[in-house]
Amino acid sequence: MSQRAAENMASPCSSEQLLERSVRDRVPPLLTDLYQFTMAYAYWRADRHRERAVFELFFRDEPFGGFSLFTGLSDCLLFLRSFRFSDQDVDFLRSVMPSTTDPAFFQYLRGLDCSDVTLRSVPEGTVVFARVPLMEVSGPLAVVQLLETSLLCLVNYATLVCSNAARFRLAAGPRRRLIEMGLRRAQGPDGGLTASRYAYIGGFDVTSNVQAGFLFGIPVAGTMAHSYITSFSSLEEVWPQTLVAANMDSDPVDFVSLTRTWLTRVCELLTAEPGKICEGELAAFLSYAVAYPNNFLPVIDSYSVSCSGVVNFCSVALALCELGYKPLGVRLDSGDLCRQSVEVRHVFRLCAEHFSVSVFRSLMIVATSNISERSMTELSSTENEIDAVGVGTHLVTCTGQPSLGCVYKLVEVNGNPRMKISEDSNKTTVPGSKAVYRLSDAEGLPYLDLVCLAAERPPEAGCLLICHTLGSEDSCLSVTPAQVTCLRQDAFTKGEVTHPLCSAAEAKAKVETSVQSLHPRHKRLQDPDSYTVALSEKLHDLTYEIQRGNGNSSNSVFAN
């Protein structure tokens, strides 16, 4: 037994403890930008570090042109709960910050935690849209400033890959199984773990990532690669060559001879040419079947699918069936996947009928081969017999849009609204602490997200309200919602997580419900309708007033 295994047995951890340890190891407080510390020092030096500040986290532009799924909240909460600097952290900061930094500042850092921080958030797994404040973080100015980079790091990629996974799910349809297998192509170990977790939450069924299964409870799957097939060259390499029947009541059977008998019968049925059958491939299938008689699912395109792969598979699978085992199916990894799947299914049906083996009617066909959202969409519109699809590169690297672009902006200090005013209107922020409401029609379909000042009276179902489309100064809307849902929840208060943490399975269920509630026109993969985000009249007027004054205060430095 390894030392690590012994340690795990000696001190078993709950899933939440494993997750918190993972977050603490991956996102220590030094995983941030240096300018966060230089700003914190300047606040401290000016004796402003204790002022109450409010920051908002949001993204400016919709990734992939449609909707997004907010995720990463549980990681953020665990990060806040464990946020504190060690002596070693502080010693390093002392070595990299300017030598003129007051030593007392480092003592201040050593005592910092998030006991005076509050986080209000959209629930994990909720469909969200550009410019809607997803998280509001309030607390001492220096502390909440120090949290910026880490919170963005935890939300940006998680939300992006979860949204990407949901698009793959929409392209694949509800019944086809999706396998995430992008670890080897991900941006480093942490990127691979994050991708596995949030691809599952976004709609995938299983992962190939064993560590993700261990940490997050995600179902894990995997069989073999081409290297296993090509490592064999002859039947003499198969060992052991016998297999005991599933009922265990008989002596070991010469499995190689049994398979050879079935190979002859399959060749006759399919009029296959024995000379084109690869013996090494058959040996690999036999060896794997002996090791995993109830989990037999080989890749069958190492040589030729029609001339060798499917013939060898059927021969071994029929031998397994004769001994009482149930093979699972095959994997296709190259060529015209749709056409090949139809041909392979035809062979399975022939065998099922000719040899009276019912298991062959339910064999699975798995397809892998650099699958993208586009190829998934094409697959779904083309005749095929594919039951499951494995996706790697295009899922975990989010090739359609590699970055979400979440930002973290100051909106209030000591109760006074703050606003960034830019020549680039897309970078202008909306001031003040806010509340967010989702307005839905009589069928429960959301059509507008309303951003209000936190102190405003909430909108009511059945009552007319006037609002202004965000980003369009002259666009005034009159709406009467049938349903109103508050999108904000208190998630972290006084150093404690105040909202139940979501497991991967719970977040996945939330995502499914949230996506289902969205109108089809908003979740089209191509040319979706834009979703409306609007400001209340009071918030719109405040924003206009501050812009007109070109600052965050009516007081001018030139005033008398």
Residues near 485 by Cβ (< 8 Å), separated by ≥ 6? 437, 438, 440, 446
Q: Is 111 exposed, middle or buried (0-12, 13-18, 19+ CB in 10 A)?
A: exposed
Q: 3-state class of 538 per DSSP?
A: helix
Q: Which of 187, 172, 181, 189 is nearest to 219 (CA)?
A: 181
Residue 560 to residue 424: CA distance in whole angstroms: 32
Q: Which of 146, 188, 115 is nearest to 31 (CA)?
A: 146
Contacts 24+ apart (CB under 8 A), 548-555: 550/421, 551/421, 552/416, 552/417, 552/418, 552/419, 552/431, 553/416
| Residue 267, token pair as written in the block | 């060749």
Q: Are 150 and 538 in contact (CB under 8 A)?
A: no
> Which value, in Å, is the radius of gyration of the alpha carbons in the chain?
29
pLDDT at position 161 is: 98
DSSP assignment of 129-178, as one string? -TT---EEEEEEHHHHHHTHHHHHHHHHHHHHHHHHHHHHHHHH-SSSEE
Q: Which of 311, 265, 308, 316 is nearest to 291 (CA)?
A: 316
| Residue 228, token pair as written in the block | 């296993």
> How does 372-397 read in b/e, with b if 16+ C-beta sit within 10 Å?
bbebbbebeeeebbbbbbbbbebbbb
Residue 330 to residue 335: CA distance in whole angstroms: 15
Dihedral angle, C-alpha 420, 425, 427, 428, nearest 10 °: 20
Q: Which of 466, 476, 462, 470 is nearest to 531 (CA)?
A: 470
| Tens of each residue's pLDDT in the chain, 560 residues | 344 444 444 445 677 777 778 788 889 999 999 999 999 999 999 999 999 999 999 999 998 888 999 999 999 999 999 999 999 999 999 999 999 999 999 999 999 999 999 999 999 999 999 999 999 999 999 999 999 999 999 999 999 999 999 999 999 999 999 999 999 999 999 999 999 999 999 999 999 999 999 999 999 999 999 999 999 999 999 999 999 999 877 899 999 999 999 999 999 999 999 999 999 999 999 999 999 999 999 999 999 999 999 999 999 999 999 999 999 999 999 999 999 999 999 999 999 999 999 999 999 999 999 999 999 999 999 999 999 999 999 999 999 899 999 999 999 999 999 999 988 878 899 999 999 999 999 999 999 999 999 999 999 999 999 999 998 767 899 999 999 999 999 999 999 999 999 999 999 999 999 999 999 999 999 999 999 999 999 999 999 999 888 666 544 433 33
Residue 111 to residue 108: CA distance in whole angstroms: 6
Residue 233 to residue 282: CA distance in whole angstroms: 9
pLDDT at position 49 is: 98
Q: Are 398 and 147 in contact (CB under 8 A)?
A: no
Residue whose token pair is 């003499």: 236
Tell me which H or E stretch contains 74. helix 73-81
This prediction's pTM: 0.93
DSSP assignment of 234-260, as one string? SGGG-SS-EE--TTS-SPPEEHHHHHH
Cα–chain center distance at 128: 15
| Residue 51, token pair as written in the block | 């002022």
pLDDT at position 20 is: 78
Q: Is 559 exposed, middle or buried (0-12, 13-18, 19+ CB in 10 A)?
A: exposed
Tell me which H or E stretch contains 287. helix 279-291
Q: 3-state class of 411 per DSSP?
A: strand
Residue whose token pair is 């419900």: 513
